[in-house]
Structure formats: C-alpha cells, structure tokens
Structure 1
C-alpha cells in the first residue's frame, strides 16, 4: 500500500491556514467588517447581454441579513433543512449564506431532476422548505407535495420570493440573526449533498462547515496567489452547478478569499463565450468537458478561417514547449531549446494570444476537476500560457483532495495531496483518503457510512496510482471495471478519454461486460460534424455526395478508434462500435449535471443497440473481427444520415 500526505506530498504553502471558529456565513460578515467596499459579486440583471453590476462586501452582508430575517420570520430554525433547486445564479449564493447564518442546512437539488428524484431527496432529507427557480420548479415540487407532510414552504425566485421574504422579516431584529450566527459551530452540518447517482439511488452526504471550508482555506493559502497577476483582485466566473460540490467549492473559494464572483446560469458554449468577453475572468474553474469543448471550438474556428494547418502546428509546438518545461521543473531536462523557444514566440504572436483573448484576455490560470484532464490537452493549455492545475475530489470530501503543486505541475496526473490530507492506494488499487474535509456520513444510511468510512479513512471507490513523487493518477472506478467473457478486466476511462480527444467525437461509452470483446457507443459533436462536412470537396449528385460523406466519416471514426486502441493491449482494444444518433445529455438522464456519464443508464437505454452491435460483429468474417482497427458495424450507416 502506497501512502502519501502532509509533509512528504504537500505543496509549499505561502501562508498559514486560518483556524475555523464559526460557520461558512462568517466569511461574508468578516470581509464586510474588514473591507466593506471590496467588490464580491458581479450580477447581470436581465438578458445575458446586460452589463455586469458589482456588489460590495457590505452590500452582500446587508442582503444576507435581510433575507435571514425573513427566513426566521417564516419559521426556519437551526438544524432545519431547506432545499435549493436552481441554476447557478446570485440568489443561490444569497440563500445559502442566509441559511448558514441562522444555522440551517442547505440541500442542493439539480433543477433538471425528475419528479421521482425531487420527491426522494425532499423526503429523505426531511426538508421543511424548498427554493425553486421558476414555474416549472413549482410544478415539479407540487406534483410530489402530497407525500411530503413536513414541507411547509415553496419559494419561487422568479416570482419575487426574495423580496417577499425581506418584507416578512422586517419585524425581526438584525441582532437575532447575529445571535444565531454566533452559535453555529465548525462541525455543524452545513450541506446535505446528494450524490449524482451514476448508479443506484442517490445518497445524502452530510458535510459540515469545516468539511467545506478546509479545502477552500488550504487552496487559498497555497494557491491563492495564482488567481490573478500581483495587485489584481481575482475574478471568477462561476458557471458550474452549485448543486454539485465542485460548484460549492468555487463559491466557497470566492467568499472566503474575497474574490470577485460572477454567476452564469447557462452552461452553453455561445453564452459562455459572451460571458468570458464581458466578465473577463482572471482564473477559470471548469470540468474536462469545458476544456475539451473550448479546444474543439478553437480548432473549428481556425479551420473555417483557412488557418487549420497553422493551428495544428501551433498546438504541437505548445505541447512540445510545455513538455520541455515540465521536464525541467521535475529535474529531468534542461528546458526548451533555442529553436523551440523561437517557434513558441512566433506562435505566441500569431495564435496563442488570440486564443487567450477568446477567454477574455485576462485568464491567468485554471483548475480542472470532476474527472481527470487528458494529458495532451493539459500540455496544450500550459503551452499557450494557461497552466491548468488538475485536481481530484468527491462529494464525500467537500471538494478538493489533491491538486497540482505550483511550479511542480505534472500533466496527466491530478497532483499531490493537499496539506492536511493523506492519500493511500490499497492493494486492490482503491484510493483511500483521510483529512478534515471527509464528510460526516450518509444521512439515514448508517450501513452505507460504515462501508466507506474505515478507521477514519474514506474508501473512495476510485482506482488510482501514486508515483514515487506522490502524484496521483486516476485509472477508473471499481464499479465500472468491465470483465469480458474471456475474463479480461478493462478500465474504460482511458479509452473513452482518448476517443473524446478526436474533434468529431463528443462522447464515448465503452461496454463489454460478459461479451467476447470490448465495444463502444459513440456520439458525434453536431457542430464539428457540420463544419467537417462543409470542408469536404465532394461533387456530383446529392445521393452520391451523401454516400461519399458517410464513407469518409466512417473511415475517420474508425481511425479514431484505432488510435485509442494503441494505448491498450490487444485484448483490451475496442473491436466493435456503434454511432448513436444524438448525444447523451442531462435531460435524458444519461449524464449527471456535472457532465459525468450515468453508465448503467446508458447501457440500459441502448441495450438493443449493444446487442445488435455484437450480433453484427459475430456475422463478420474472422479476419475482419480480429483486425485493429476494428470492424465497422454496417448497421450504423443510417446514423450518419441523421447526424447532420
């Protein structure tokens, strides 16, 4: 068993981590007392084109107090649980801080959750109130109210809920809120966050104020200086769901660190592109899906401008430059040579600064979380001047466990344990974690808590490896390991990551449990497919052109699968695959709101297609089944006619 933590694996600290004495809401009050005019919030009231309006620390504190008074007047007491079912918007921050100020507990719910999920979470958590965003949210909660006798309030943001609560709370003295806030302890429960439910019914993770604050305070102490150039206030565009612990950690970093936070509720490429240009963040917190999408957009725009070849050369130079710099940092090389420096400087003027300008022109660095970031992609961003500190965390750990140490980044890993965190890899490859951020347990599930908390160590369910320097690499999930009928165990994550690196491929799910070989379900990126088709110089009648396009697309995807297969052994390689007509999304229940695959749901939804894929393969000649690249599933031809 390998064990790293604290002194051996910790990144250097630039400041001491403060000792926590109260609750999360204290951050707002402390900042307002210390620096009342400091901008903390940037809001857009109205359409996405509206200008950003800044709110100071004292203004945020006053609004938190006014709302908290309304919550007290409505009968919300310490220990009560209130659900928030809304997108990432200012009111999410306002409600969470107000609830924490009076000792209540927040239960995040994704606004796209089904009626059954909403009913389960509200009942399991014994919520006494729920905050919804719009009429659709009211209808969803209303449809399950009959089974929720403890639910007393449904507050709708878009119909003036905040204003109504403020009016209701006017008779309550502000001192009442201050008195309640002062009795909130660090180990009081702050959030009951339900797991995404990639498999089975979601379970509520009880997280204390200390659990959520610990990774934020440690990151601010050791990495806070990377958020903006010296002398500038870091500006963070929060667009990931606050219903996920990663989003809550971003909110915590901003509030506890005095960073300017802008809320963007739309996780849409065009909306985000506009928000980057107007808000101009200095630091970017995202998931790999966002970094992958940004890269593909860069490539597509370059190709449309007739500069695709230039962009691809610039990408290779950026990766080579970043790799040389990484080797130098790790003591394994002397850094970029003169030729490489000259090439990099040339592309800095012609390409890289334009790419950074597309993100607002001020991005100083970034963090990727949720799942591991592809090594080549991390090198690309580092090479264009945006170091991405890949990290790792879970709902059960209140966010971050590991992160890339400043000045010792190693792409392809998720970094080293945060100071105060210990990480072990058990004999079976499972990652074990111990530290202040490890959760209190699952609500109403003592057996489940005992199964994952063992002598203070959290069994994460993730598989990984620790290298000699203490850097952690994630290799998969224990429950996701595929075992073929031949007994071969296959971790799907690496293959799926390599497939997604191809511009035409949007998502991939590797299958093969109890099957003779590994297969894959693939979805295409509609925007890039349309762009790719436009670049084909086909002539002739329409029917003939479509056939040639389909054949070319088949060949391109086949090459992508073959490239992915070069990273694994022959017995682990993908032999059959099928292209699906539409991407997986949250609305269909095939993705979690944090963009993770609901693997069991995908396999169940496409059981017929998976069976047909293997049946089709079994009818192919032996030489076609055994070759690499894999045999093409002819039954998928019609898919290309629909993905246009």
Structure 2
C-alpha cells in the first residue's frame, strides 16, 4: 500500500496511490473506504505529543491502517492493550473501533529516538514482556520476508492469525508496503478460513500447528477442502514446534510440503523460514538474508539481526537484551546442520531434568503422538524438593485407538523410553490455548501445582 503524507492530506483526490486488495472476514474492503479511514485517522492523531504511544484497537481494519498512519505522524504504536498496560506511566492514547482518539493517559516520557512499535510476547513459558522495535527493524523484516516467500501483487495471502501478534504484524507489512493482497480472518477463524479456502484462489496461508491439524482432519471428509489445500503455493506454519508426524500427514493427505519457520517477538519476529528452493523436512529452513544464527555448547540458539528488539519496555525504561556483540539469547534449543538448516526442539527453560537426565518435552510429545493413542498431547514437569521427587505430567486428548487402560499403558511406556521417572497422566477433552494458538503450558502447570 502506497500511503504517503500527500495522499493522506489530499485524501480522495489522489488516484495514483496503489492499494493492494484487502478482505476482512470474507468481505472486500473498498479502496475508497481505506483512503477515507486513513485520512480520518490522520486527523485524529494530528497535534498529539511526539512521545505519545498510539494503542491499536481490536478492529483489524482500523488497526492495520492506523499503524501506518501513526508512523507517518512520527508516533510509536502498540499492537495490543497489554503491551502498554504494563507501563502505564508512558504517555499513550487508545484508538476506538472507528479510529477516534480517546483521552491521553500517562506521563510524557521519551522512549527513545526510534521507538516505532510495541508488541507483547506470548508468555507461554513465563510472564509476558513488552518488546520495542524500531522502524528500521520493521522495514527490514518485511523486505526479507517478502523475498523468502516470493510473494507479490499476484499473491493472495490468507492470514488467520491475529494482526496484533508479531508474525501477523509482519504479514500485514507485506500488504502495507509490498502490495501483497491480504485476506484477514479474525472472527470465527476456523469457519472463516474454510470459507476463504473454498471461495477464492488462495496462494499462501499462515497457520499454527494446532490449526493445521484441524484443517487436515476436516479435509479427510471434505474433498473440496483437500483440493484447495493441494492448490496452495505455500502452506506456512509457525508459532510452535511442528510435529514431524503432522508434516508427513499433510504431505500424504494433501500432497503439500509444509514450510516451517522459526521466530520470536524479540527478533522482529522472523529468524529462519522455509520457502521455494529453501526446504528440508524436519527443519525450519535457512536464516533470512542478513540474519545470523549460532548454537552454543548447550544447544541454545542465539540470533543477530537488523530486526532485533531495541529492548523490553519496563516501567518507563527500554532495557536492552542483546549482548555487547549484538547477539540475542533466544532461550530455544536447536541445531544447525552442515548445509545451514536450523532445527528447533523447544524452549530451554522447558527442559525437564528428572533423575539427572535432561529431556526435551517436545521429543516426548512427538513420540506420544507417533504412538497413535492420542490426538494431541502436552508434557510439563513439576519440581519437587529434589530431582527424585520431580514429576512428569502428560496431558492428552485420547484417540479412538485402544481402550483407555491400554492408552495409559502405552503412554507410560513412551515416557519411560526417555529414561524419565514417575509420570502422571491427565486425560482431557481440550487444551487451554493462548491467542496465538499455542497450548498454554503455564495454565497446565498451574492446574497441578
């Protein structure tokens, strides 16, 4: 989307500005409505103090337009309410669902010279943080992401991921600055995604593993959906570790490679992504151009990139998180093969140490899924007074194979193969999930603490 001061000032009289097609919840947004909204938001933001953070509303149309306008007005913006509520002393205003500015709150505080965007981390393994990015970091991410995915004006990208999250924001930038047509689904996401896949020619979709699992399950009973999935140019997945069994199932059922990727909010967010000509099953692809990745002796992943965060916003301070050489410690476990492809095994802080043995929960979960006795599974550990009193908890949604008693026996055997000690099984109907679609392991741990 070419969105300049000139077209915002002159509004509808400018006809040369190109705006890529945009659909929200199945409805095409007229170009004239986008122009009017941009003009009105600019009028609302006019006169605000330059240190004011503009907090985006939940309305996806207002949010995607307002973030562009805010930057043009020299104002930083927050993608969600939580990212600014953790620092209430920072001067901020809320945009309502129509793009109007509410009352200014907080105190005037200069975050830093190039504070462009605030976004919350998921908080899947700890307390959420507020990440600060520069305008340079945002532009870099959009450029290298478009390059890796090979998308452009001829693409139709389907985004059933919240635009207030880091990856969703990076895809929105492709529409804003790289003329990529975008279909946003944010209501009944599953129903909307099915409608979009069945009603229009989608070239690219971005999903989390849990949604991919649902789509594949539905495609077994719906030949039209299976055909739509098989026609995709790119089936991208991220947000959590992709089970190899699920990737194999997609390939078997739909004839599609699953292009896995890896990132984190702190990195802008994308670090490594699979794409056309950059694919190896079981990996998250190669690092994006200009992004460096290394793994230390403990298998922890470090990233150095032009799109790394400026720091965490804590109170009214932006606290740097990179070391003196510019490397960010991700907290993720991984490995790099001889060709440079990166593989991720999960969070280092989630590693389970039982009887002196370190176990990655994802590896246990993958083995449990492969056993065929559960539809989905999550593994956590509760700490005791000593390693001998640590307990592994396996939460699982039972499958239709074997009796309940036999399912328990098989799952216990799976855990024992990793050399772990006592295991507690929890049969459940569904998992608590974060807005990103990830299983909320923090909530699971609290349920047994």
TM-score (norm 1): 0.60
Cα offset for 1:212?
1.7
Measured in 2, the distance between the counterparts of 1:281 and 1:200 equals: 36
Contact 1:287 1:368 in 2 (8 A): yes
Out of 84, 90, 109, the position equivalent to 2:56 is 84
Match of 1:131 in 2: 95
Match of 1:150 in 2: 106
Measured in 1, the distance between the counterparts of 2:92 and 2:316 equals: 23
Aligned residue runs from structure 1 range 145-224, under 5 A: 149-150=105-106, 188-224=114-150
Match of 1:377 in 2: 246
Match of 2:30 in 1: 55
Cα offset for 1:356?
2.7
Contact 1:28 1:60 in 2 (8 A): no
Match of 1:555 in 2: 406
Cα offset for 1:203?
2.1
Cα offset for 1:377?
2.3
Assess, with a 3 A threshold, how the Cα gap between structure 1 residues 557 and 35 changes in structure 2: closer, same or farther: farther
Assess, with a 3 A threshold, how the Cα gap between structure 1 residues 81 and 468 changes in structure 2: closer, same or farther: same
Does residue 286 in structure 1 map to residue 133 in structure 2?
no
Aligned residue runs from structure 1 range 13-52, under 5 A: 36=17, 39-43=20-24, 52=27
Does residue 392 in structure 1 map to residue 367 in structure 2?
no
Does residue 471 in structure 1 map to residue 397 in structure 2?
no
More helix by percentage: 1
RMSD over aligned CA atoms reads 3.7
Cα offset for 1:80?
1.3
Contact 1:39 1:55 in 2 (8 A): no
Residues 20-61 of structure 1: CA distance to partner in whole angstroms, max 9, x if unpaired? xxx99659979x9896465421245xxxxxx632434x7634
Measured in 2, the distance between the counterparts of 1:297 and 1:574 equals: 36
Q: Which runs of 5+ in 1 are unaligned?
A: 1-22, 45-50, 111-116, 135-141, 153-186, 303-350, 537-550, 586-590, 608-644
Contact 1:250 1:285 in 2 (8 A): no
Contact 2:52 2:92 in 1 (8 A): yes
Cα offset for 1:151?
8.5
Match of 1:583 in 2: 430
Assess, with a 3 A threshold, how the Cα gap between structure 1 residues 482 and 258 changes in structure 2: closer, same or farther: same
Assess, with a 3 A threshold, how the Cα gap between structure 1 residues 578 and 469 changes in structure 2: closer, same or farther: same
Contact 2:302 2:327 in 1 (8 A): yes
Contact 1:499 1:505 in 2 (8 A): no
Match of 2:226 in 1: 355
Aligned residue runs from structure 1 range 251-270, under 5 A: 251-266=172-187, 268-270=189-191
Out of 102, 106, 109, the position equivalent to 2:77 is 106
Contact 1:24 1:213 in 2 (8 A): no
Residues 522-557 of structure 1: CA distance to partner in whole angstroms, max 9, x if unpaired? 2427xxx7xx5xxx9xxxxxxxxxxxxxx8244346
Number of residue pairs matched by the alignment: 434
Measured in 2, the distance between the counterparts of 1:151 and 1:488 equals: 50
Out of 162, 175, 191, the position equivalent to 1:241 is 162
More strand by percentage: 2
